[in-house]
């Protein structure tokens, strides 16, 4: 990327300009209301981080239909009843100077009957996720697949009506779109499964539905991004080669960006320990000249971000912005040495982290650095 500074503006293919190269990464807050409305604590949390000067905020995932919810107290975009709530969220971000991007998703087999009020989770096929206590999902009918595709179009319409600047399609992290792409979870023999080309059909149909909604309902340029995971460690699972095929096709679809979901920005293969090439470099080399790529994963310091921007034009920041809401403004002022290196328990009141997210940070050992 040459001498790119994180403070340089960037114009996406749709014509929307981000004021700099930093986006807030999508992270679950577990803090919405039971019905999927945004809570006041979440509004404060997002507003505070938008206010720090970053270019855009990508929200936690919002489910596009009732069976798409993945956990309790998550954001809903499944009904027009949610539009007033979504509008509050869009405004909390935009009024504080950042572009607002709603991440839309369907959890598929990663959900459970407790979250779904007694309903069985659905997926591409009746194959349980490879984790403890995973429930067996029901295979979706061809009609249900079409309805789910339509639900992403409707969720996009709601995002537009609520005033969001864009949506991010969540095709990563083993949720439903990922499940259709994966030979582990997709054992179908109809047009939605089998060959790599058929396993790509569902993700591509979602992209098309979202783009149709943007054309139909938005009068302004509207950001459409796509997030994906590069490979699966399971066998059968999709490989880096499969993903490069997918992103090659996606790169021709006039998207605003491809967001690569990685635990570590420079992370290498999780299938083959001898393959040490960072996944992000392979993806940038394959499609970077056609579509902007966003990298993410444990970027905490100025040096981390500068190194990352030598590879991709945009980076997403997760934990560092939760740990210190002023992370970006401190970098901008050159006050790097005042950035909080950990979630300080003594500063709980001033961090504006919603209680359920705070509790999760305290419970899950090793997820965040925590200090007194």
- Catalytic residue IDs: 175
Instruction: Return the number of other C-beta atoms located less than 10 Å from residue 85's C-beta.
Output: 22
Query: Which residue, among 293, 321, 302, has the nearest Cα to 50 in the 3D structure?
Result: 321
The token pair at 233 is: 């460690």
Tell me if 47 sits within 8 A of 356, measured CB to CB.
no
- Distances in Å between the Cα of 81 and the Cα atoms of 37, 44, 53, 159, 223 are 9, 22, 31, 12, 23
226 phi and psi angles, rounded to 5 deg:
-135, 130
Rounded CA separation 108/180 (Å): 10
Residue at token pair 């992290």: 173
Rounded CA separation 20/7 (Å): 5
Q: How many residues in total does the chain contain? A: 372
Distinct helix (H) and strand (E) counts, the chain: 13, 15
Residue 228, helix vs strand vs coil? strand
Residue 219 CB burial class (10 angstroms; 0-12, 13-18, ≥19)? exposed
DSSP class of residue 110 equals G
Pair type for strands 122-123 and 138-139: parallel
Residue 344, helix vs strand vs coil? strand
Query: Which residue, among 261, 266, 277, 248, has the nearest Cα to 311 in the 3D structure?
Result: 266
């Amino acid at each position: 990327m040459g001498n790119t500074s994180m403070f340089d503006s960037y114009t996406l293919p749709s014509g929307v300009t981000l004021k700099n190269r930093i986006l807030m990464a999508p992270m679950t807050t577990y803090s919405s209301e039971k019905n999927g409305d945004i809570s006041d604590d979440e509004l404060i949390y997002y507003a505070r981080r938008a206010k720090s000067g970053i270019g855009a905020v990508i929200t936690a995932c919002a489910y596009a239909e009732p069976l798409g919810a993945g956990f309790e107290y998550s954001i809903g975009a499944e009904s027009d009843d949610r539009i007033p709530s979504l509008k509050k969220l869009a405004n909390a971000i935009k009024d504080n100077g950042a572009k607002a991007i709603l991440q839309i998703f369907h959890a598929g087999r990663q959900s459970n009957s407790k979250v779904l009020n007694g309903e069985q989770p659905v997926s591409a096929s009746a194959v349980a996720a490879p984790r403890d206590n995973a429930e067996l999902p029901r295979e979706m009918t061809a009609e249900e697949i079409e309805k789910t595709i339509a639900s992403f179009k409707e969720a996009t319409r709601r995002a537009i009506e609520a005033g969001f600047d864009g949506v991010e399609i969540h095709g990563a992290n083993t949720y439903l779109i990922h499940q259709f792409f994966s030979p582990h979870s997709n054992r179908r023999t109809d047009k939605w499964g089998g060959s790599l080309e058929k396993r790509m059909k569902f993700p591509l149909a979602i992209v098309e539905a979202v783009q149709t909604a943007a054309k139909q309902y938005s009068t302004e340029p509207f950001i459409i991004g796509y997030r994906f995971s590069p490979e699966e460690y399971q066998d059968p699972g999709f490989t880096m080669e499969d993903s490069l095929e997918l992103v090659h096709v996606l790169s021709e679809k006039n998207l605003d960006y491809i967001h690569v979901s990685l635990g570590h920005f420079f992370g290498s293969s999780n299938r083959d320990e001898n393959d040490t090439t960072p996944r992000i470099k392979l993806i940038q080399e394959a499609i970077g000249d056609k579509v902007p790529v966003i990298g993410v994963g444990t970027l905490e310091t100025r040096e981390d971000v500068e190194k990352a921007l030598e590879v991709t034009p945009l980076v997403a920041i997760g934990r560092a912005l939760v740990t210190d809401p002023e992370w970006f403004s401190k970098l901008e002022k050159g006050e790097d040495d005042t950035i909080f290196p950990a979630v300080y328990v003594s500063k709980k009141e001033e961090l504006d982290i919603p209680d359920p997210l705070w509790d999760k940070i305290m419970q899950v050992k090793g997820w965040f650095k925590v200090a007194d």
